[in-house]
């Protein structure tokens, strides 16, 4: 079930219907940071996997990341909500459709995208107690895919030199890097996101490139709150939207 009224996102830059608390994935800081982290060549073809109600793709559209944005999710009701959100914001250039990333060989041509974007499930099936809500179980507990499925699909979709952007729990960074190297989608840069100075990283933003050389850059950490308890400049930068052309 969705919220009755659209919520303001990015300080009102977007309005968005989203699942009510506990009934599906909702916009979070991770959502905003991932959309801000994406860098694509001009007119690059971009696809988001597991797009839920469309927040990351619509933020990318607002940022003019690309005019060739596509997004899919396994859940038809979330895709319907994503399409509603696109209409609410006048962003019909984003194409939303239903698909299962595990069926990528049947549903897509290989090597057709310049960038793939995803906020994958936090955990693997069986490693945490799943939510009784089906949409939450898919989004949070990997009920519909494993991290290996995610990497395999991204590799298939990307052209050589194409970029894979994702945000992942910090505790899974080693697992992710192992899979990326195994499938020749090599990590190129990453940024740790910390709740505040002195606290361990909660999530990591990662950019990997298909069929690239070795070498990875550890970028400066991003703190959500500073020592003064206020949002940091780096965090607020991700919420800013440049003036539209």
Q: Give residues with Cβ within 8 angstroms of 236, minimum separation 6.
A: none
Model confidence, pTM: 0.90
3-state class (DSSP) for residue 16: strand
Q: What is the pLDDT of residue 132?
A: 56
3-state class (DSSP) for residue 116: strand
What CA–CA distance (Å, rounded) separates 141 from 129?
Answer: 8
Provide the CATH topology of domain 28-239. Rossmann fold (3.40.50)
Q: Give residues with Cβ within 8 angstroms of 31, minimum separation 6.
A: 55, 56, 59, 119
* Residue 114 and residue 162 in contact, taking contact as beta carbons nearer than 8 Å: yes
Q: What is the pLDDT of residue 5?
A: 82
Domain ranges of the chain: 28-239
What CA–CA distance (Å, rounded) separates 164 from 158?
Answer: 8
Instruction: Using 50 as the pLDDT threshold, list the residues of the chain that sit under it.
Output: 1, 131, 133, 135-137, 139-142, 243-245
Predicted confidence (pLDDT) per residue in 92-133, tens digit: 889 999 999 999 999 999 999 999 999 999 876 665 555 454
For 173, the token pair is: 């960074």
Predicted confidence (pLDDT) per residue in 46-74, tens digit: 999 999 999 999 999 999 999 899 999 99
Q: Which of 33, 67, 44 is nearest to 162 (CA)?
A: 44
Residue 99 has phi, psi (to 5 degrees) of: -165, 160
């Amino acid at each position: 079930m969705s919220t009755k009224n659209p919520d303001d996102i990015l300080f009102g830059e977007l309005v968005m219907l989203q699942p009510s608390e506990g009934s599906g994935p909702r916009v979070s800081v991770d959502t905003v940071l991932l959309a801000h982290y994406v860098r694509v060549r001009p007119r690059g073809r971009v696809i988001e996997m597991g797009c839920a109600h469309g927040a990351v793709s619509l933020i990318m559209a607002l940022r003019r990341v690309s005019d060739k944005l596509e997004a899919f999710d396994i859940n038809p009701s979330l895709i319907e909500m994503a399409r509603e959100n696109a209409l609410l914001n006048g962003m019909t250039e984003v194409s939303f459709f239903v698909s299962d990333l595990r069926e990528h060989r049947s549903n897509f041509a290989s090597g057709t995208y310049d960038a793939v974007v995803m906020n994958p499930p936090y955990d693997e099936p069986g490693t945490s107690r799943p939510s009784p809500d089906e949409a939450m179980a898919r989004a949070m507990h990997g009920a519909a895919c494993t991290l290996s499925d995610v990497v395999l699909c991204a590799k298939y979709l990307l052209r050589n030199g194409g970029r894979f952007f994702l945000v992942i729990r910090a505790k899974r960074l080693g697992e992710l890097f192992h899979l990326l190297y195994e499938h020749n989608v090599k990590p190129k840069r990453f940024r740790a996101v910390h709740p505040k100075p002195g606290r361990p990283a909660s999530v990591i933003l990662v950019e990997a490139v298909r069929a690239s050389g070795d070498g990875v850059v550890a970028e400066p950490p991003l703190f959500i709150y500073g020592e003064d308890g206020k949002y940091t400049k780096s965090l607020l930068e991700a919420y800013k939207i440049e003036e539209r052309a």
